[in-house]
């Protein structure tokens, strides 16, 4: 089996796949959809980060592609509906780099609260300005977290340990961590805190969620951070809020339009502002995080291809399977309609196949049937199961 890894995925992922018998091609940069279609010829597994767009056109052009691994948290760069329709399993790393993002957020909050960017620039110009004016501790200050998922929750705990009073808002009902205060609306949060940090996902509904109205609702001289998705913030509106003095500072790690590879030019209306920290989408880019992500996602891809395990899949029914396979394991991905189990078992019975173990799990419109067959499965059996009208994909592992 062959794997294609893009966007400079950590060497641990390459080693993990090669050590399990996969042929691996690794490339540094992202590919656009047409380039990706050409590159996927003969490829069974695809690994990407945040830049490569896996569209329906890409997935439908390569029905042999078994799985896509997003070596990051987000999966909005993948057409998940198309992946499900083509029976392509998608895996990501929802936990592996949360600490890295949290530490960057806290570092930027402290740097902006202490005006470290201004003081650093002045020192490099040869100016000595030992003044406490405008510099504040973060202890005792209020932090508002928009998006209380894995990153938001961990940031909540660590910020509270720094002595900050934490408020949070999420469209999903989430349990508070520690002494954090839940807000019933975004407006309530914005009017209650001195620092706002975004940790929302990349769904289309979040596009432009932060614009002139939201910045206007923030307290004067607040700090604003976006380490989530670039398309959720109107950068022109943020520029106005900063240059007018309404906001004291901002830190951004993501942008509506980002270069595909290191070394390419970058432009933003926020460049040149002394009270703005700009980083090149490195929130999760620490050696520890990338190593953890590489091993975690590669492991999920291997478990799926070798055993059929789909635990923590983004789009498949989740099944945790025993790596010990007695005979042949038949993996049947199908439309979730009544009677499929009976029809598959009828085919197996007609061919004299004995069933040792069997699991059927459904998720939305998809069903996933795993059958361990003790006395082996011939090509004729696989062909007969494929011929069932509900079948989307059939695979065997042994």
Which of the residues are catalytic?
Answer: 229, 258, 281
Rounded to whole angstroms, the Cα distance separating 158 from 161 reads 5
Spatial neighbors of 276 by CB under 8 A, at least 6 apart, are 117, 242, 249, 250, 251, 252, 270
Q: H-helix or E-strand containing 278?
A: strand 276-278
**Contact criterion met (CB below 8 Å) for 255 and 248:** no
Spatial neighbors of 223 by CB under 8 A, at least 6 apart, are 109, 112, 113, 194, 195, 196, 247, 248, 249, 250, 251
Residue 160 — φ and ψ, nearest 5°? -65, -35
**Contact criterion met (CB below 8 Å) for 277 and 252:** yes
Rounded to whole angstroms, the Cα distance separating 94 from 110 reads 26
In angstroms, the Cα distances linking 375 to 32, 211, 371, 397 are 45, 63, 12, 13
């Amino acid at each position: 089996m062959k794997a294609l890894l893009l966007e400079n995925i950590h060497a641990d992922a390459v080693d993990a796949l090669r050590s399990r018998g996969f042929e691996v091609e690794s490339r540094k940069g992202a590919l656009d959809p047409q380039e990706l279609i050409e590159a996927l010829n003969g490829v069974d597994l695809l690994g990407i980060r945040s830049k490569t767009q896996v569209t329906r056109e890409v997935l439908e052009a390569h029905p042999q592609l078994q799985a896509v691994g997003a070596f990051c948290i987000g999966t909005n760069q993948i057409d998940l509906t198309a992946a499900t329709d083509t029976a392509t399993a998608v895996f990501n790393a929802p936990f592996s780099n949360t600490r890295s993002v949290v530490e960057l957020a806290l570092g930027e909050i402290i740097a902006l609260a202490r005006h470290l960017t201004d003081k650093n620039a002045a020192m490099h110009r040869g100016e000595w300005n030992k003044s406490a004016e405008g510099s504040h501790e973060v202890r005792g200050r209020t932090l508002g977290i928009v998006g209380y998922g894995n990153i938001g929750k961990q940031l909540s705990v660590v910020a509270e340990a720094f002595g900050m009073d934490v408020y949070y808002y999420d469209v999903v009902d989430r349990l508070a961590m520690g002494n954090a205060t839940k807000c019933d609306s975004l407006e309530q949060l914005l009017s209650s805190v001195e620092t706002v940090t975004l940790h929302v996902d990349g769904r289309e509904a979040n596009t432009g969620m932060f614009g002139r109205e939201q910045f206007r609702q923030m307290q004067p001289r607040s700090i604003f951070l976006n380490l989530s998705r670039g398309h959720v913030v109107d950068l022109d509106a943020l520029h106005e809020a900063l240059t007018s003095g309404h906001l004291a500072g901002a830190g951004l790690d993501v942008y509506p339009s980002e270069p595909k590879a290191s070394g390419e030019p970058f432009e933003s209306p926020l460049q040149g502002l002394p009270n703005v920290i700009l980083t090149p989408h490195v929130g999760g880019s620490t050696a520890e995080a990338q190593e953890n992500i590489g091993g975690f996602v590669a492991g999920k891809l291997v478990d799926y291809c070798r055993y059929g395990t789909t635990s923590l899949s983004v789009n498949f029914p989740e099944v945790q399977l025993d790596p010990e396979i007695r005979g042949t394991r038949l993996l049947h991905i199908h439309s979730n309609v009544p009677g499929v189990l009976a029809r598959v078992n009828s085919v197996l019975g007609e061919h004299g196949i004995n069933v040792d173990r069997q699991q059927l799990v459904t998720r939305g419109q998809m069903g996933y049937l795993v059958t361990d067959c003790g006395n082996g499965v011939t090509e004729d059996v696989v062909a007969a199961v494929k011929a069932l009208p509900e079948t989307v994909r059939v695979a065997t592992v042994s």
